Chains A and B, each alone.
Chain A
Amino acid sequence: DGGITQSPKYLFRKEGQNVTLSCEQNLNHDAMYWYRQDPGQGLRLIYYSQIVNDFQKGDIAEGYSVSREKKESFPLTVTSAQKNPTAFYLCASSIVGREGTEAFFGQGTRLTVV
Chain B
Amino acid sequence: AQSVAQPEDQVNVAEGNPLTVKCTYSVSGNPYLFWYVQYPNRGLQFLLKYITGDNLVKGSYGFEAEFNKSQTSFHLKKPSALVSDSALYFCAVRDPMVGSTLGRLYFGRGTQLTVWP
Whether chain B is bound by chain A comes out as yes
A interface residues, Cβ below 8 angstroms from B: 4, 6, 31, 33, 35, 40-43, 45, 48, 50, 56, 58, 88, 90, 92, 94, 96-108, 110
Q: How far is the CA of A110 from the CA of B36 in the complex (A)?
A: 19
Q: How far is the CA of A48 from the CA of B104 in the complex (A)?
A: 8
| The residue from A31, A41, A110 contacting B109, defined by CB atoms under 8 A apart | A41
Q: Are B104 and A33 in contact (CB under 8 A)?
A: yes
The number of residues on chain B lying at the interface, defined by a beta carbon within 8 Å of a beta carbon of chain A, is 26
Q: Are A43 and B107 in contact (CB under 8 A)?
A: yes
Q: Are A100 and B51 in contact (CB under 8 A)?
A: yes
Known: A42-B107, A42-B108, A42-B110. A48 touches B102 (CB 8 A): yes
> Which one of B11-19, B40-48, B65-73, B77-85 contacts A?
B40-48
Majority SS at the chain B contact face: loop
Chain B nearest CB, measured from A46 CB (Å): 11
Known: A33-B104, A43-B107, A110-B41. A100 touches B49 (CB 8 A): yes
Known: A56-B100, A99-B97, A103-B105. A43 touches B90 (CB 8 A): yes
Chain B nearest CB, measured from A71 CB (Å): 15
Known: A56-B100, A96-B102, A99-B51. A40 touches B109 (CB 8 A): yes
Known: A43-B90, A90-B43, A97-B97. A50 touches B107 (CB 8 A): no
Interface assignment of B22: CB less than 8 Å from any CB of chain A:
no
Q: Are B100 and A102 in contact (CB under 8 A)?
A: no
| Set of chain A residues within 8 Å of B41, measured between Cβ atoms | 88, 108, 110
Q: Are B49 and A94 in contact (CB under 8 A)?
A: no
- Quick one: CB contact mask for B15-57 with A, threshold 8 Å, 1 for yes? 0000000000000000010101000011111100101100000
Return the 7 tightest CB-CB contacts between A and B, nearest first.
A100-B51, A105-B43, A42-B107, A42-B109, A105-B44, A43-B107, A100-B32
Task: Provide 26 A-B residue pairs closer than 8 Å at the C-beta atoms, listed in order of the A residue.
Answer: A4-B43, A31-B103, A33-B104, A33-B105, A35-B107, A40-B109, A42-B107, A42-B109, A42-B110, A43-B107, A45-B105, A48-B102, A50-B102, A56-B100, A56-B102, A90-B43, A94-B103, A97-B97, A99-B96, A100-B51, A102-B49, A103-B94, A103-B103, A103-B105, A105-B36, A110-B41
